[in-house]
Amino acid sequence: MEKTASPIPFGKQLQVFLPFALGYFLSYLYRVINAVLAPDLAADLGVDPSGLGLLTATYFITFAAFQLPLGILLDRFGPRRIEAALLILAATGAFVFAGADTLTGLIIGRGLIGFGVSACLMAAFKAFVIWFPKQQLPRINGFQMAAGGLGALAATSPVESALTVTDWRGVFTLLAALTAIVAAIIFFIVPERQISHKDESFVAQMRDMGTILTSLNFWRIAPWATLSQGTFLAVHGLWAGPWLRDVAGYDRSTVAGTLLLLAGAMVVGFIVLGTAAERLNRWGISTAAVGAAGMGIFMVVMVIITLGHKSGATWIWILFGFFGTSGILPYAALSQSFPLHLSGRVNTTLNLLVFLAAFIAQWGIGAIIGQWPTTQSGGYAPAGYQAAFGTLLVIQLITILWFWFASALFRKTIPKGRDYEADAAEANTPDEKIYE
């Protein structure tokens, strides 16, 4: 039976954490930068909302497409080498994006970026599972997500300021160089640690994937987490900025400032909710339960945004940023309830679903908004945002109902009086550990 190693010195913890945090910083910056650059890209290319949504969402589809093989690669070759190699592809994509003169060229560049940063979160989660005690995972994962939040911060007012010195092509050229540097840091700085596991064949690895995909414990949590996090990524990554312009009536600098506050709320949310989940675990409250509560509040915030309230819009979007982070807690919950050697595949399977949902949502929002004529000022109709966001809320509500139904069904399948944690560790089977 494989075990997570004993705690490591603080200095080595930083040696593991900081390089992966830098990678995720860049990943999130790439993810949301179009929320600020959208007016420039639309003006240069002359695309409609659907085309803008497709361009930005290409990041998500290429990101998602690599998640299942990524899980196998992470479990087999380790996070350090895999992430460093993929970040070189992301740097290449940024160079392509910076030099593209057509929508097709931009889509190719953005697709390479999404593919190249596809390991930035999952490789970190895999490394943390290997190096840190499992009870610390919600907090450590929260700090990793906070690094992404800092990337989102950098993609707001700092990018807006950079556009006064250069254009969006110059911004992406700089990002390409920074990405190559971070790839080198991860490869040469992060220490290697081997974990004991069976030398599985490819067939055995795919059979393990079947174990995950047939797990009721996985599927009771995954749909709600997928829709919550997918909605958050889709809206934050592109449509928050246009909403603030078209519905709240903010000018460009105020939009950038509000997005900066939203990203700051993300940083706080990742740290606070991750730390709270770790401490509440000690009191018998599961990570999954904390995540469910946060995702429920996030839906309430989305209802307010969908109704188009202009009063206090900045504060509403701050709450959006804070509680939108709760969708990351199910990753820690599922990592804790599956064997160590499956942790990479568990996280990447959930990540596949999340980024497929984000791709569909981000493109779909644009397609729905495009059904309404543009306003006299050249913006998009508020009714379009209501229809698009309302559609996502209805789908999320369906996943909540499934979560409660599946949780009740899951409890009925567990015999009373058993030590599920000890049994799961001993039997090395995922569905025998309950987080409810």
What is the token pair recorded at 100? 């593209």
| Residues in Cβ contact with 1 at an 8 Å cutoff, skipping those fewer than 6 apart | 425, 426, 428
Distance of CA 71 to the CA centre of its chain: 16
Q: Tell me the pLDDT tens digit for each residue of 353-397.
A: 998 999 899 989 999 999 999 887 878 999 999 999 999 999 999
> What is the pLDDT confidence band of residue 170, given thresholds at 50, 70 and 90?
very high
Tokens of 76: 């087999």
Query: Hey, what CATH topology would domain 10-189+204-432 get?
Result: Growth Hormone; Chain: A; (1.20.1250)
337-356 in b/e form (b: 16+ CB < 10 A) is: bbbbbbbbbbbbbbbbbbbb
Two tokens, residue 325 = 């982070």
Q: pLDDT for 276-303, tens place per residue? A: 888 888 888 888 889 999 999 999 999 9
Quick: pLDDT tens for 21-72.
Answer: 999 999 999 998 988 888 888 788 777 778 888 888 899 889 888 887 888 8
If you average pLDDT over each of 56-65, 206-215, 312-321, 343-352, which comes out highest? 312-321
Taking the model in full, what pTM does it have?
A: 0.76
Q: State residue 139's pLDDT score.
A: 81
Mean pLDDT in residue range 410-429: 48
**pLDDT score of 319:** 97
Contacts of 199 (CB under 8 A, 6+ apart): none
